[in-house]
Amino acid sequence: MSSYQEKLKASADQIGSGLVMIFHLLALFAIGGAIAWSAGWAFWEMTHKSSASIEDILTLFIYLELGAMVGIYFKTMRMPVRFLIYVTITALTRMMIGRINVDHIPDIGIIYIAVAILILAIAVFIVKYASAKYPSGMLIDEQIDANEPGTK
């Protein structure tokens, strides 16, 4: 490959990387905005009821976890799989409570949801253990701690 072609390829790679970075940032801001808007709307609806149910509060926790996941991805450019599992556990807990509130009769569906939550909790343990035992570079928790004000 000639020197001109190498320079052209390097320039194209640099422009491509810049465009990908811009897309990443725009997408993260769009997702973050959608999460904030949805959480605000859910909170607004919750304030217009006589009281907040546990399902409403768990919905806000889901939005909080999604927002934290976007923030972590923004800071580290890594997708924290544990947060996806936390969101799923919270959603399943919300579903279980909803079933119990509606039916008032424990059935096999409640057992299935509880087993799914247990499996996901075990998955979180495995992911945390594996990331501590076999780290790939700096752990996300260490990166988050490093970016927090007042920490080393």
Q: Where are the domains of the chain?
A: 3-147
Q: Give the position of tokens 């807990």.
A: 93
Measured CA to CA, the distance from residue 65 to residue 45 in angstroms comes to 20
Measured CA to CA, the distance from residue 139 to residue 147 in angstroms comes to 13
Both structure tokens of 38: 């949805």
Write out the chain's pLDDT in tens, 152 residues. 678 888 888 888 899 999 998 998 899 999 999 999 999 999 999 999 888 888 899 999 999 999 999 988 888 888 778 889 999 999 999 999 988 887 777 788 899 999 999 999 999 999 999 888 888 765 455 555 555 555 44
Contact 54, 97 (CB under 8 A): yes
Judged on CB neighbours under 10 Å (0-12, 13-18, 19+), 83 is buried
Largest Cα–Cα distance of the chain, in whole Å? 75
